[in-house]
Amino acid sequence: MQRMSEGIHVAINRLYESGYERELWLDSLDRFCLEFNIQGAITVPRIAAENTLNLPFSPSLMHMANQFVSDGWYKNDMRADRGWPMVDAGHPVVLEQDIISPEEQMRMGIYNDLYRPHDLLWWAGVTFKTKERQYTVSMLRRPDQGAFSEDERRLFLQVRHYLSKAMSIAETMSTSAARGSVDVLHALGHAAILIDGWGRVRACTPRAEALLGPELSITGNRFIATHGETNRQLQAMIRRTVLDTPLPDAPLRVQRFYRRPVVIDVLPIPASSRMDFLFSHALVLLVDLDEQPLSNIARLRIVFSLTPNEARLAGHLVTGYSLAEAADAMGVGHETARSHLKGLFVKTATHRQGQLIAVLSRVSQMGSIQ
């Protein structure tokens, strides 16, 4: 067995300390690049390669990665197409010469239009598994640095065990952080679902879970809508947000039988506060038009010094109930509801029902996620 250098051990220890922080992971990859005479490296989960720009990779690969995505090479990535079957067949370390001959390199468009112009001709992929998925540390060399050798293949076979442990630590830490974030959202009264870079549900508040049913569900770790067209729109919103290319979509209304709709919005998590490695990329917020505003009754009572019945009426009006519907929901007569409405006008310094609802809505939304 080939002996690993002290520098490789230092890089491995840094990986253990990196957790899921992109910059720290990159520092560790840079150590590997130095030890193995590599131009650059990228950590790639086994996912659609269009997520490339969200992955941690060496700064020297920035221009190549941008072109890889912008020119659509990710749709037909030869190294992935030929490399993963070799991994599945029991070869966890794949070198450039395993998948292509020099003659074919000269003919293929991806080499002539992408790899060769960026001076990144030689490649090696070191694959490893965690509890959740497979990854590859994809390493690239310039022509003058030469192809990866069989001795290096044997060394990579040793290194992959440590990469697996380091990434498992990152996944565990990110899961704990995600649960902590969801606990905060729950404490603030939000129905929210945390989505990772694969479009999978990572965590969910109890209020969001309560809204699942015939129209909405979490199936196979995916948040889906039952109705085909509604689900198409929902998945498009999630997909665009995960890929950091959100469009100004209007919130999505999901119709329900015998109940008011659920309104869904998908928000990107800012890069400065998200968990890296695609662990946390989007936040799905759900608003139950039957119930959500009623959760702010306590705030309305405090701000306007409302009686309990006035606060209940205010909550129903903000939800969209008419005065008659609110009276029915409260179990009181129409005249009693009108009396409570007059009290609301006085305490909110308003004179018309539309003006009242606008004021109540602004107050009930105080503290919402921006």
Give the model confidence (pLDDT) of 156-205 as tens digits. 999 898 888 888 887 777 777 767 777 777 776 788 898 887 788 888 88
Say whether pLDDT at 295 is over 50: no
pLDDT tens-digit series, residues 9-64: 888 888 887 766 667 777 888 888 888 889 999 888 887 566 666 677 888 888 99
CB atoms within 10 A of CB 137: 21
Beta bridge partners of 193: 204, 284
Say whether pLDDT at 6 is over 50: yes
Sorted by where each begins, the domain ranges of the chain are 6-173, 189-289, 294-364
Instruction: Please tell me the predicted confidence (pLDDT) of residue 53.
Output: 63
Top-ranked range on mean pLDDT: pick from 109-113, 254-258, 346-350: 109-113
Q: How far apart are CA 195 and CA 286, in angstroms?
A: 13
In CATH terms, the fold of domain 294-364 is: Arc Repressor Mutant, subunit A (1.10.10)
Instruction: Please tell me the predicted confidence (pLDDT) of residue 140.
Output: 94
Q: How far apart are CA 144 and CA 141, in angstroms?
A: 8
Average pLDDT of the segment spanning 78-96: 94
Measured in whole angstroms, the distance separating CA 327 from the mean position of its chain's CA atoms is: 42
Fold agreement between 6-173 and 189-289 = yes
Average pLDDT of the segment spanning 239-261: 76
Instruction: Please tell me the predicted confidence (pLDDT) of residue 26.
Output: 78
pTM: 0.61
Give yes or no for a contact between 11 and 35, defined as CB atoms under 8 angstroms apart.
yes
User: What tokens appear for 317 in the block?
Assistant: 């009006």
Average pLDDT of the segment spanning 64-79: 88
Alpha-carbon separation of residue 352 from 175, 189, 321 (angstroms): 49, 29, 15
Instruction: Please tell me the predicted confidence (pLDDT) of residue 1.
Output: 58
Give yes or no for a contact between 93 and 157, defined as CB atoms under 8 angstroms apart.
yes
- Averaged pLDDT of the chain: 83
Average pLDDT of the segment spanning 303-325: 86
**Of residues 126, 129, 66, the one with CA closest to residue 91:** 126
Superfamily of 189-289 according to CATH? PAS domain (3.30.450.20)
Whole-number percent of the chain with pLDDT over 90: 32
**Better-predicted residue by pLDDT, 174 or 2:** 174
If one looks up domain 6-173 in CATH, what number appears?
Answer: 3.30.450.80
Instruction: Please tell me the predicted confidence (pLDDT) of residue 292.
Output: 47
